[in-house]
Amino acid sequence: MATAHDRAVLQTIFNPTTPFGDVPGLNQVEGLQDDDSGFDAMLLEKVKGLELQGVSAAESGDLSEALECFDEAIRVLPQRPSAYNNRAQTRRLQGDTAGALDDLERTISLSEGTSRSACQALVQRGLLHRLAGRDEEARLDFEKAATLGSDFARQQAVLLNPYAALCNRMLSEVITKLRNPEALEAQSP
């Protein structure tokens, strides 16, 4: 049976962009979900139905209908973060980055940064920051989402880490030289 150290070494060999010792899934938060227990059950059921309608409308390309559904869900339960998160995605698809960022901020605030909605919002916001060239802000969002269990966010955070990039470049050069020692000899005076 492999030890934790053995798994970390194998992880580094097969996935050199991850930090040493970072075995995906090992630190993942189990059962991350939104806490809907504080909402009236009938209102919650209505809002979830509206969100499903909104997602279906967005998937079929009717972004106006999707926004109407998410807006109504927010009017019914303005303290529930999920509809803001869904509306942010729809706004982003419409090219309304500022509106999407506002909704993502609201999602993170309402969820206190600890729910599935918060994790999704942090990833979305990180992607928007990355597209805008704000890599440091993106990295911070990805790191927060990674602590909530997002493997995608963990990978993005590593890719944006300047120290990891430098180490990976140096490691690639060493491996290339080890694989091709003749090239190393040809370079010697």
Can you give the CATH number for the domain in which 144 is found? 1.25.40.10
**pLDDT score of 19 more than 70:** no
Q: Give a yes or no: residue 139 inside a domain.
A: yes
Q: Give a yes or no: residue 187 inside a domain.
A: no
Domain with 92 in it: 39-160
- How large is the average pLDDT for residues 40-53? 94
- How large is the average pLDDT for residues 139-151? 90
Q: Give a yes or no: residue 55 inside a domain.
A: yes
- Cα distance between residue 146 and residue 36, in whole Å: 23
Secondary structure of residue 31 in the 3-state scheme: coil
Per-residue model confidence (pLDDT) at position 103: 96
Q: How many domains does the chain have?
A: 1
- How large is the average pLDDT for residues 107-124? 90
Q: Report H helices in the chain.
A: 4-14, 41-59, 63-76, 81-93, 97-110, 116-131, 135-147, 151-160, 162-179, 181-187
**pLDDT score of 87 more than 80:** yes
Q: Give a yes or no: residue 135 inside a domain.
A: yes
**pLDDT score of 119 more than 70:** yes
Residue type, 172: S
Q: Give a yes or no: residue 126 inside a domain.
A: yes
- Cα distance between residue 29 and residue 96, in whole Å: 32
pLDDT band for 138, please (50, 70, 90 cuts): very high
Q: Give a yes or no: residue 105 inside a domain.
A: yes
Q: Give a yes or no: residue 185 inside a domain.
A: no
Q: Give a yes or no: residue 66 inside a domain.
A: yes
- How large is the average pLDDT for residues 71-77? 97
Q: Who contacts 157 (Cβ-Cβ below 8 Å, separation ≥6)? A: 139, 142, 143, 146
